[in-house]
Structure 1
Amino acid sequence: MGDIVRFVPKSELERARLIREARAIYDSIFPPADPVREPQKPDESQGVEA
């Protein structure tokens, strides 16, 4: 019986939705960096000197 219900304005819900949508678009264009993967080094067999 002691539940608290918080009123969330429609504008706040819309703002949160737009932020999620923009982040999804951004992540599809610029994928987040994968810290586990190291940058690939040039392969010596391709004739590229380091």
Structure 2
Amino acid sequence: MGEIVRFIPKSELERARLIREARAIYESIFPSADPVRERRESEDQSGTQS
């Protein structure tokens, strides 16, 4: 009891799949030199530091 089940529309699942595919293609064409460092830099710029 008390468990929440979220139903995800098929269109939302398809959208997420397409985004993942697009990111994978982009990354294969333009590989990042150091993904961890770049992620930290982008977080610093957006102001989401811990």
TM over 0.5: yes
| Matches of 1:9 and 1:32, distance apart in 2 | 33
TM-score, length basis structure 2: 0.64
TM-score, length basis structure 1: 0.64
Corresponding position: 1:7 with 2:7: yes
| Matches of 2:12 and 2:32, distance apart in 1 | 26
String of CA shifts for 1:10-42, please: whole Å, max 9, x gaps: 00000000000000000000001324xxxxxxx
Runs of 4+ in 1 over 6 A off after TM superposition: none
What secondary structure sits across from 2:2 in the alignment?
A: coil
Q: CA RMSD in A?
A: 1.0
Q: How many residues align?
A: 35
Query: Which of the pair has more CA radius of gyration?
Result: 1
Report the counterpart of residue 19 of structure 1 in structure 2: 19
Structure showing greater relative contact order (alpha-carbon pairs closer than 8 Å, 6 or more residues apart): 1
